[in-house]
């Protein structure tokens, strides 16, 4: 993808967010779909969610039942929709922590390859469980979110946006 295409794609993705931030006449519903690993990615999405809530919008995050207490403590201004992930997020976090602790012994490329190989099955299962929770999917559809914000590295967010 050329530089111009990436710029156009970025502008298209950011346009709804800019409109929500600058448009103050009505509250919009915003759904956050964070990846099951990398707290830094959660904090980035949650910061966007907080900024939108501070401007009068309603922010909701989809998280595992096992992690909802932790996420609520970090961002109490958000609402939460939960699903049972059968421990996939805990396993992914464990693998991430293990690989990060041994990262200085290996090259960055080797560590990234290890993470992607080890976590791909649990990543897919996590997404399957999220999308397979029919009650959750129906609640998300009924809520009619104006915008869905997700991490591009977590394709499940794009699927949720298409519901």
pLDDT at residue 42, rounded to an integer: 86
Residue 113 in this model has a pLDDT that exceeds 70? no
The average pLDDT across 98-103 equals: 62
CA distances to 6, 17, 142, 151 from 3, in Å = 5, 22, 38, 20
pLDDT for position 84: 84
pLDDT at residue 90 in the model: 73
| Listed range (5-19, 41-55, 96-110) with the worst mean pLDDT | 5-19
DSSP conformation class of 146: S
- Per-residue pLDDT band for 7 (boundaries 50, 70, 90) equals very low
Q: Does the pTM of the predicted model rise above 0.85?
A: no
Average pLDDT over residues 69-94: 85
Residue 14 confidence (pLDDT): 59
Strands of the chain (E only): list them: 29-33, 58-64, 79-83, 147-150
- Please give the pLDDT value at position 73: 93
């Amino acid at each position: 993808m050329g530089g111009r295409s990436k710029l156009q794609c970025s502008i298209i993705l950011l346009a709804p967010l800019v409109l929500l931030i600058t448009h103050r006449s009505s509250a919009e519903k915003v759904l956050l779909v964070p990846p099951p690993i990398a707290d830094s990615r959660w904090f980035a999405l949650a910061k966007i969610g907080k900024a939108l809530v501070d401007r009068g919008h309603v922010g909701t995050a989809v998280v595992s039942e096992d992690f909802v207490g932790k996420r609520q403590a970090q961002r109490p201004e958000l609402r939460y929709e939960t699903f049972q992930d059968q421990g996939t997020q805990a396993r992914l976090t464990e693998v991430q922590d293990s690989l990060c602790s041994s990262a200085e012994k290996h090259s960055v490329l080797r560590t990234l390859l290890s993470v992607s190989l080890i976590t791909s099955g649990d990543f897919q299962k996590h997404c399957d469980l999220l999308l397979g929770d029919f009650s959750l999917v129906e609640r998300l559809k009924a809520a009619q979110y104006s915008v869905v914000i997700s991490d591009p590295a977590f394709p499940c967010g794009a699927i949720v946006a298409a519901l």
